[in-house]
Amino acid sequence: MIAPLLHVVSVLAVGLCLAGSPQPALAQAESPPKPAATEADKPPQPAPIAVADIAGEAAKLESSLKKRVSDVEQSDLVERATKVLDELIAEIATHQESIEAGNIEQLAANDLSRLETTWAATGDELAKLAAALKDAVSKVGDELAEIAVLVDQWKRTGEGARGESAPDTVLAEISSIDKQLEKTRKTLEKHRNDILEVQSRSSKQRDTIQSALEKIQTARSAALGRLLERNSEPLWRVTPSRETFEQGIAELRARYAAANDARERYVSRQRERVVLNLLAMIVLFLMMRRARKVLDTASDSGRAMAAGKELRDALLERFAAGGHAPQG
């Protein structure tokens, strides 16, 4: 009678606790939104230039902007990168033709090793070109960020100068700086877009090289495996290069390491089961030993009882023959 009452009371207590506690979804909905980024969190902007300093600052900035535009226009980075990329593309096309003509699946391990070395060297050259293009894009991006800051600064400078009724010559200098900033921005953006176009082309060729290397590695593994087939050419007639030997040894080490890791993982997972099985075998052995001891004891007791019965029967027969019966 008391147990059902306690069960009912515990259920009611749990229900009241759940009803009084806030739900997670509601709590999340009622939580205040994260405060937006304030002005203090933003990087400080340069202050507008005073009207008295506009002439000197405008002259220095205009000279700096013209130098940037001149450096970009005289830069041959895109032309050099395009030339190198075109040469690499032609080399990649030649390699592909050699692969298709040579039937990569039937090539020997030596030929595949040399082919892989050639493709890897081409990939290294392409990676160097991609790294140079990435650095160039990063530098142009930094320069565009600086131009954006200058545009904002001179915009606020112009507003302040007009608010102070600055002379027309000062306003003309501000307007000239605005035009020079716009020209510099467009020049840098065009330069960045040209670099990005070359970078996109190089990325496609890197994918081509990676795909070719994967095919070569697959074919090389198959070629190394054919050395151990029943009808393959004898090893003393094969003259593999040093790279082939190193690759074969590396593959054997990788296979051994993978098998060793798999064995260690199996042992670690089955460790508890092995211990339990060992304990069960020990317990079973002890039980069998105990049972055999009990059976041996019972067998000895049975033989003793049988011998006593035979002796009793013999005595009864002897006394019966003599006319005397044993007492009780």
Measured from the Cβ of residue 70, the count of other Cβ atoms closer than 10 Å reads 11
pLDDT at 42: 58
* Residue 217 CA: distances (Å) to CA of 58, 60, 84, 115, 322: 61, 59, 27, 10, 108
Q: What is the spatial distance between Cα 193 and Cα 25, in angstroms, rounded to a whole number?
A: 47
Q: What is the spatial distance between Cα 102 and Cα 300, in angstroms, rounded to a whole number?
A: 87
Q: What residue type is 77 in one-letter code? A: L
Question: Are the beta carbons of 98 and 191 closer than 8 angstroms?
Answer: no
Phi, psi of 306 (to 5 degrees): -65, -40
Q: What residue type is 121 in one-letter code? A: A
Phi, psi of 33 (to 5 degrees): -65, 155
pLDDT at 17: 45
pLDDT at 297: 81
pLDDT at 247: 64
> Per-residue pLDDT for the chain (328 aa), expressed as one digit of tens each?
444 444 443 444 434 444 444 443 333 444 455 555 455 555 677 888 888 888 888 888 888 988 988 888 888 888 888 888 888 888 788 777 766 665 555 555 566 667 777 778 888 888 888 888 899 999 999 999 999 999 998 898 888 888 888 888 888 988 999 999 999 999 999 999 999 998 888 888 888 787 777 777 777 666 666 555 555 554 444 455 555 556 667 777 887 788 888 888 877 777 777 778 888 899 999 988 888 888 888 777 777 677 777 777 777 777 777 655 455 4
Q: What is the spatial distance between Cα 119 and Cα 212, in angstroms, rounded to a whole number?
A: 8
